[in-house]
Amino acid sequence: MLLFLVRRLILVIPVIFGLLLLTFIMIRVVPTDPAAALAGENASAEQIAAIRAQFGFDQPVIVQFWTYLGQVVRGDFGISLYSNRPIGADILLRLPATLELTFVALLVAAFGGIAVGTLAAVWHNSWFDHLIRIFTVAGLALASFWLAIMLQLLFSMELGWLPLRGRLPSGMAPPAYITGLYLVDSLLTLDFRAFTTALGHLLLPALTLAFGGLATVARFTRSSLLETLQNDFVTYERAVGFPNHRIVLPYALRNSLVSPLNQIGLLFGGFISGAVVVEAIFDWPGLGSYLVGAILTADYKAILAVTLVVGLIYALVNIAVDLLQGIVDPRVGGDL
Amino acid sequence: MTSIAFNARLRGALLAGAGIALCAAALAPVQEVRAQGAPGELAWADTLPSGLDPHVVFDVPMQLYMLNVYDNLYRYQGNPPELVPWLAESHTMSEDGLTWTFTLREGITFHDGSDMTAEDVVYSFQRVLGLGRGPASAFLSYLQPENVTALDERTVEFVLDTPYAPFLSAIPLVSILNAGLMREHESDEDWGSAWLASNAAGSGAYAFDPASYIPRGNITVERFEDHFLGWAHNDDPIDIVRVPFIAENSTRILALLNGEVQATDSYLPSDQVERVEAADGVHVASDESMRVMVIRMNNGKAPFDNVNFRRCLSHAFNYEGFIDVILQGHAVRNPGPIPQTLWGAPADVPGYSYDLDKAREACDLARSEGAPVDRTVSIHTQSELDLTLQAAQVLQGDARQLGLNIEIVPDTWANMTGSMGSMESTPDMWIHWVSTYFVDPENWIGQMYDSQFHGTWKASSWYDNAEVDELLRTARTVTDEDTRRQAYEAASRIVIDEAADIWIYNTIQMRGMSDRIEGYEFSPVGSGAEFRTLSLTD
């Protein structure tokens, strides 16, 4: 298991290198000159050339990449072309918001999806199963921006049950900073008012983000569990008089989780990209909205840094999912 | 498979798992939801500048920040904007137009309590010129850093290389920084840029709060009790103003409707005006601005180098349809580059009308002159601004009736403006607005159509006409306003006749606003986002 972990962690390095190289080349081959935008209106060709030299835009792309790689290895993401602040600091400011949103969405999608999928399999061909089928098709088909706006209109504007936007109400101080995750920090500091307020703000964006993923996990769980329930060992357990909940929960469901777990790992990537839309609509101050701003202002070092961070998190989450599979399925675990 | 009977324990366990999220909702205290903002605080949901350095960042959102946190020697107030003495109580200009002397008011203090002197003004202008970014472009061609000097504690002298008539108009572009504070934070000859990216060194009516700053997320400012103008003009000023950046229009409007914010940005979409007007407790503040929407044409590239082809396209745009239907009448037709509300725009030039017969005639003429009229031309739009796409679609539809092929290319502002260093890399056509940075025709026609500015995004039409160059350079160097007006009017007539671009409308800026706000004063510079005059009723 430890050897597997080390091997997988080492393999992350070339993946991240490839990701950086690809993104760097894609950004720099676009026929645009950030120096012209930086110089401002009415700047002369000389001024633009001076800025180009100052920021190294006049160097060959490969030289620029090499310089950038040297910085990144030292943990320096560089300075934002626009805000003139260290990009690492800006990302650290926003990363917890995105992590909190995506992980809560992942939990909702995973537990919700497995629960719903299990119910649909157990009540196979019942009205509930048909209802879930409609729900899962809708989950895959609905555009997240539409769902987000509908949820806002219903829960915030009509019913007034949940907040419209943001992580906390305007002017409310966040809990004392420990991890940057408001739910965790408020629990660690026993600030329950902050916890419930932060949770209330998190619900709509997390549900929006989780909806499609929940449908996917439910479908995979349902079909996988249905297949397992037809195995000989289930027939045997039934024959010796095991009660149904003993059959489904510890045995059949555990045997059925390999495929949904794979999906959950893949979902995380979708959640990170989906967060761009969800964060924009719910005014969630995370990496997604930072990335959109960086793209619109051609702040290429900021784009690269976000790509790197997201790529790294994605790789780590998938390693974690592989390890989890080993725990759930000893046949896989033996190969680790 | 036979259906499995489901016992109560299993059902309970699974339903509990599926319902965790819904149960958690009940924990969220509902009284937090109908947020009205903290009492005495204003939430102003506007666009934010990409950075905080007023000598580096040069865009419309920066005006909101600099007009509140910083002061300038002179400032624009009201609509139409009038240039009024601000930090300076007066100025003089030598007869040759080269030497300008400004006298500072007494008793100006910065947010840290230190006094402002002429040295701070000198430092600020030298810093702008030294950095060579953003607002520097308005001064670099005729002002050397060593020619800005302090004659005494309250007197600053500028000696220009050549006369530059719009100099006073451009003065408000420069925010005056606290030189002592900046020097404490300089490193590697960076003029303190790294520090100023997260801090402020101003004297404005509101002081920046670094602790609550989230780049592209939120700016909070607090009222500065000792502002040099005092607060006698406002019985009940607002102590804290938060400016959250809400990217999504829909969310911004919902937040206004439910009272979370008291104002939106000033680009309220036309289709939302009715909705806001119909809602209780909010209204739309609409003001004619000086922001001209224009479809640029790369006059250096065939077929756009043919004047008749450009005239053809100018007659092919449905101006009235676009303004009446898409903008629902919330704009004013502007037939030339200078806003109609500003001097220098000829009042007797109607501009191009939507007339497909005239367009066809002009295109046939261009074709007969050998222009490759039938090649597919591209028009670049700004992905973040739907109106640019709609304008492109209006033109594309009518051009198709003339047998012309226009391809729409969604793009970003940064990409487009970054590609305009050469005629070849500049798009065939692109759409944008020219906003008010300083109130002088130079801000529009001067920087758009004088060939010396080729390679900048403002001059991206690559228009080249020696007579127009001469007129614009005359207008730049003579100080007599009547002579300047005549020169700008003459230049306007020529560029309109030669259809250098397609000028569509002058903007009516619309801001959704709570009825609780009082004292709102609009100016095209800053779009009414000066918080000094505002108060909030209960």
Tokens found for residue B380: 């670049």
Tokens found for residue A218: 């439910």
Q: Which of residues 250-309 of A touch B (CB under 8 A)?
A: 280-283, 285, 289-290, 292-293, 295-299
When pLDDT is cut at 50, 70 and 90, the band that residue A332 belongs to is low
* B343 lies within 8 A of chain A by CB: no
* A65 lies within 8 A of chain B by CB: no
* B418 lies within 8 A of chain A by CB: yes
Binary contact (B35, A206; C-beta < 8 A) = no
List pLDDT tens digits, range B75-113: 999 998 999 999 999 999 999 999 999 999 999 999 999
Mutation site for A-interface testing, chosen from B2, B3, B4, B452 by largest number of A Cβ within 10 Å = B4
Tokens found for residue B40: 């005495």
Structure confidence at residue B18 (pLDDT)? 41
Binary contact (A47, B24; C-beta < 8 A) = no
Q: In this structure, what are the phi and psi dihedrals at residue A292, rounded to the nearest 5 degrees?
A: -60, -45
- Tell me: pLDDT of B3 over 50: no
CB-neighbour burial class of residue A127 (10 A; exposed 0-12, middle 13-18, buried 19+): exposed
List pLDDT tens digits, range A223-244: 888 878 777 777 777 777 777 7
* B455 lies within 8 A of chain A by CB: yes
Binary contact (B28, A200; C-beta < 8 A) = yes
Q: In this structure, are residues A105 and A209 in contact, taking their beta carbons and an 8 Å threshold? A: yes
In this complex, the residue of B41, B56, B216 whose CB is nearest that of residue A171 is B41
> In 3D, which of B85, B75, B98, B86 has the Cα closest to residue B157?
B98
In this complex, the residue of A47, A170, A282 whose CB is nearest that of residue B132 is A47
Per-state percent for chain A, helix, strand, coil, to nearest 5: 75, 0, 25
The pLDDT mean for chain A works out to 83
In this complex, the residue of A47, A124, A290 whose CB is nearest that of residue B1 is A124
List Cβ neighbours of B487 (8 Å cut-off, separation of 6 or more).
B471, B472, B474, B475, B478
When pLDDT is cut at 50, 70 and 90, the band that residue A139 belongs to is confident
Q: Which residues of A touch B421 (CB under 8 A)?
A: 33, 36, 45, 48
Binary contact (B133, A230; C-beta < 8 A) = no
Angle between helices A258-282 and A287-296 (to 10 degrees): 60
Q: What is the least distance, in Å, from the CA of B305 to any CA of chain A?
A: 23
List pLDDT tens digits, range B160-211: 999 999 999 999 999 999 999 999 999 877 899 999 999 999 999 999 999 8
In this complex, the residue of A48, A116, A170 whose CB is nearest that of residue B242 is A170
Binary contact (A170, B412; C-beta < 8 A) = no
* B39 lies within 8 A of chain A by CB: no
List pLDDT tens digits, range B12-68: 444 444 444 333 334 433 333 344 456 679 999 998 888 899 998 888 889 999 999
Binary contact (A84, B197; C-beta < 8 A) = yes
N-terminal to C-terminal alpha carbon distance within chain B: 67
* A248 lies within 8 A of chain B by CB: yes
